[in-house]
Amino acid sequence: MRTQPFEAAIFDLDGVIVDTAKFHYQAWKSLAGELGFDFSERENEQLKGVSRMESLDLLLRVGGITEMPLTRREALANRKNEWYKEYLATLTPADVLPGVRSFLAHLRSCGIRTAIASASKNAPFIMDQVNIRPLFDAIADGNSIVKAKPDPEVFLQAARQLGVAPGACFVFEGAAAGVEGAIRAGMRVVGIGDGQQLARAHLIINSFQQLEPVILLSQITVTGDSGWGVCLNEQ
Ligand code: B16
């Protein structure tokens, strides 16, 4: 059994650092209402981590709308984003999820580099609202990538900015699309949240309060010479 060197931690933003997932849902639900159909929380799960325009297409599919000109779709996506930004404007530093700040501070005190990997174009605004920029060495987000999760681009870009090899990165993800993207990037993934949705993650925890960073990381060991057979340590 061998342990991979661990040099960097890459974090999803929405639903992992701040619970903006609920704001996305409220804004998409309002848009669905205007278009004349209902949109459930279960249906919203598939939108998590994917880009704004792909989210709109998924929403329209729920409403049985398959054909719509691009200009109209862009107008709808902008409308949703305006509502979403109104919610974001209410965020304060107190909205950072429990345990996140101390987890990040602990990692950084151990010399671990940290980055955000988010599909969101609103990531810089959210980070400023809750004042977490000083906790990160790099930001890869929806403004700098072409392909959204589950493509690995955002994770690879974050690792490149940090100057760390993908295999030395841990990703902390709250969405299935992100877990998939991180795996494709050749990184180890800790899923934060629903075990069923995040089943492909190497380890799943409920929140950063659940485990001390050192204990968490000592529990993850990589086995074998090929692939990522991550398992919980016996001891
Ligand atoms: P925006 P993440 C993702 O952020 C969200 O999970 C996803 O629901 C959203 O559609 C996407 O960002 C784009 O966000 O509309 O703000 O550009 O989870 O990758 O941090």
Q: If you take atom 5 of ligand 1, which residue's CA is the nearest one?
A: 49
Q: Which atom of ligand 1 is nearest to the CA of 142?
A: 17
| Residue 141 annotated to the active site | no
Amino acid present at 92: T
Per-residue pLDDT tens for 173-207? 999 999 999 999 999 999 998 888 899 998 888 88
Q: For the domain made up of 8-19+93-230, give the CATH fold.
A: Rossmann fold (3.40.50)
pLDDT digits (tens, 9 = 90+) for 13-57: 998 999 999 999 999 999 999 999 999 999 998 898 889 999 999
38 is catalytic: no
Residue-wise pLDDT for 72-123, tens only, equals: 999 999 999 999 999 999 999 999 999 999 889 988 988 899 999 999 999 9
Q: Would the CB of 220 count as within 6 Å of ligand 1? A: no
Neighbours of 57 (CB within 10 A): 16
Q: Distance, CA 69 to ligand 1 centroid (Å)?
A: 23
What pLDDT does residue 49 have? 83
Q: Where are the domains of the chain?
A: 8-19+93-230, 21-88
pTM: 0.87
Asked whether 44 lines ligand 1 (CB < 6 A), one says no
List, in sequence order, the alpha helices (H) in 18-131.
21-35, 41-44, 52-62, 70-88, 100-109, 123-129
Average pLDDT over residues 220-233: 39
Cβ distance 29 to 39 under 8 Å? yes
- Can you name the CATH fold of 21-88? DNA polymerase; domain 1 (1.10.150)
Query: Do 148 and 50 touch, CB atoms closer than 8 A?
Result: yes
Task: State the Cα–Cα distance between residues 115 and 139, nearest whole angstrom.
Answer: 6
The overall average pLDDT reported for the chain is 88
Rg (C-alpha) for the chain, rounded Å, is: 18
Q: Which atom of ligand 1 is nearest to the CA of 149?
A: 19
